[in-house]
């Protein structure tokens, strides 16, 4: 353990930082190839003096925003570092946090963002519209041509590795704070994830649930497509949960397929799903 931790120590300006571990993410992306190409294009650098863009991926909760960015990062062969935004997140939570170690000594722990900046990885800020303006302000110099952050706790100015890339996800229905205009201008392009086509939806279900009966998958796709027509909030993530639960019910009880699917849909999504069950 001591050797593993020692390998994560990075010294900058006389300050020793304990770097974060990269996230072990599943990066399979099925269908909607165009949005994957858009993220990869945003992260391209075309020549000397050019800089990568910082895509903002919008969509309903469960539509695959985080999976999209992870898949793009993995396609580039880079480590992924994820940060979950919260409404009480402070600027230093994004950067470097002091902790009391053995013997009462202060240790400095680098966030996922700072670690990605140092190591040249990809940082994904999830549900970014939950953060307040004061916290966003700490990222302003990172998201323009300066490409650095300043840690008040350590007094360090940390520059981003040339390979560092950044992207955020935002749920359309979960904004806590308004994003400052100067930050909006830095989070470009905006990439919107819409509901998948029936063919893409089936491909996603088959890819993630190869052990589930085809009849269950067909039911889930039909259910989701009916909900999509009314712009209902149900997403592929909901469909995956319905299919999983229905398959488990069928395996553990003697039930007709129709009953297992009915129970699974209502227990996963609640009574509001009733209108879309045939």
Residue that terminates a domain, selected from 156, 190, 224: 190
If you count them, how many residues does the chain have? 278
Q: Are residues 184 and 219 in the same domain?
A: no
Q: Report the alpha-carbon distance of residue 100 to residue 77 in Å, rounded.
A: 35
Q: Report the alpha-carbon distance of residue 172 to residue 60 in Å, rounded.
A: 6
**Phi-psi category of residue 123: left, alpha or beta, with phi > 0 → left and psi -120 to 50 → alpha:** beta
Q: Report the alpha-carbon distance of residue 166 to residue 123 in Å, rounded.
A: 5
Q: How much is the pLDDT for 220?
A: 92
- Rounded to the nearest integer, the mean pLDDT of the chain is 88
Q: Are residues 246 and 222 in the same domain?
A: yes
More confident residue, 70 or 195: 70
Q: Are residues 158 and 271 in the same domain?
A: no
Q: Give strand pairing partners of 8.
A: none
Q: Are residues 137 and 65 in the same domain?
A: yes
**Phi-psi category of residue 129: left, alpha or beta, with phi > 0 → left and psi -120 to 50 → alpha:** alpha
Q: How much is the pLDDT for 176?
A: 63
Window from 91-95, 125-129, 173-177, 209-213 with minimum mean pLDDT:
173-177
Q: Return the closest-CA partner of residue 99 out of 5, 192, 223.
A: 5
DSSP annotation of 25: -
Does the pLDDT of residue 278 top 80, yes or no?
no
Residue that terminates a domain, selected from 190, 208, 237: 190
DSSP annotation of 212: S
Q: How much is the pLDDT for 6?
A: 63
Q: What is the pLDDT of residues 242-262, one digit of tens each?
A: 999 999 998 877 788 888 898
Which residues does 124 contact at the CB level (< 8 Å), separation at least 6? 66, 69, 70, 73, 80, 81, 82, 83, 166, 167, 168, 169
Q: Are residues 160 and 83 in the same domain?
A: yes
Q: Are strands 80-84 and 122-126 parallel, antiparallel or unpaired?
A: parallel
Q: How much is the pLDDT for 113?
A: 95
Q: Are strands 15-18 and 106-110 parallel, antiparallel or unpaired?
A: parallel
- Percent of the chain clearing pLDDT 90 (strictly above): 46
Q: Are residues 27 and 151 in the same domain?
A: yes
Q: How much is the pLDDT for 114?
A: 95
Average pLDDT over residues 41-49: 92
Q: Are residues 143 and 254 in the same domain?
A: no
The boundaries of the domain holding residue 266 are 198-276
Q: How much is the pLDDT for 33?
A: 84
Average pLDDT over residues 129-147: 90
Q: Are residues 155 and 247 in the same domain?
A: no
Q: Are residues 145 and 235 in the same domain?
A: no
Does the pLDDT of residue 175 top 70, yes or no?
no
Residue that terminates a domain, selected from 190, 211, 230: 190
Q: Are residues 32 and 151 in the same domain?
A: yes
Which residues does 240 contact at the CB level (< 8 Å), separation at least 6? 204, 205, 208, 209
CATH number (domain holding residue 175)? 3.40.50.300
Q: How many domains are contained in the chain?
A: 2
Q: Are residues 125 and 178 in the same domain?
A: yes
Average pLDDT over residues 103-123: 90
Q: Report the alpha-carbon distance of residue 244 to residue 252 in Å, rounded.
A: 12
Q: How much is the pLDDT for 4?
A: 58
Entry pTM: 0.83
Does the pLDDT of residue 231 top 90, yes or no?
no
Q: What is the pLDDT of residues 201-217, one digit of tens each?
A: 998 899 889 999 899 99
pLDDT tier, 152 (very low <50, low <70, confident <90, very high otherwise): confident
Which residues does 153 contact at the CB level (< 8 Å), separation at least 6? 92, 95, 96, 97, 98, 108
Q: What is the pLDDT of residues 73-111, one digit of tens each?
A: 999 999 999 999 988 888 888 999 888 776 677 888 899
Q: Are residues 239 and 215 in the same domain?
A: yes
DSSP string, 81-147: EEEE--TT--GGGGSEEEEE-GGG-EEEEE-HHHHHHHHT-EEEEETGGGS-HHHHHTTTTTTSTT-
Q: How much is the pLDDT for 129?
A: 85
């Amino acid at each position: 353990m001591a050797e593993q931790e020692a390998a994560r120590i990075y010294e900058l300006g006389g300050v020793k930082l304990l770097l974060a571990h990269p996230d072990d993410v599943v990066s399979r992306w099925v269908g909607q190839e165009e949005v994957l190409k858009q993220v990869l294009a945003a992260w391209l650098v075309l020549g000397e003096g050019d800089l990568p863009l910082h895509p903002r991926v919008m969509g309903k909760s469960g539509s695959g925003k985080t999976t999209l960015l992870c898949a793009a990062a993995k396609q580039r062969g880079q480590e992924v570092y994820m940060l979950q935004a919260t409404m009480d997140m402070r600027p230093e939570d994004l950067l470097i946090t002091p902790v009391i170690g053995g013997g009462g000594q202060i240790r400095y722990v680098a966030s996922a963002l700072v670690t990605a900046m140092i190591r040249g990885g990809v940082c994904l800020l999830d549900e970014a519209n939950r953060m307040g303006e004061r916290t966003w302000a700490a990222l302003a110099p990172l998201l323009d041509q300066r490409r650095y952050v300043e840690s008040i706790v350590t007094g360090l100015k940390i520059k981003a590795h040339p390979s560092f890339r950044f992207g955020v996800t935002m749920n359309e229905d979960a904004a806590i704070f308004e994003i400052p205009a100067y930050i909006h201008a830095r989070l470009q392009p905006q990439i919107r994830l819409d509901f998948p086509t029936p063919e893409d939806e089936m491909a996603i279900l088959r890819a993630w649930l190869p052990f589930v009966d085809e009849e269950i998958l067909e039911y889930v796709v039909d259910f989701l497509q009916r909900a999509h027509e009314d712009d209902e909030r149900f997403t592929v993530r909901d469909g995956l949960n319905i299919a999983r639960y229905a398959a488990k019910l069928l395996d553990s009880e003697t039930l007709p397929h129709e009953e297992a699917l009915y129970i699974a849909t209502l227990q996963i999504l609640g009574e509001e799903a009733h209108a879309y069950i045939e």
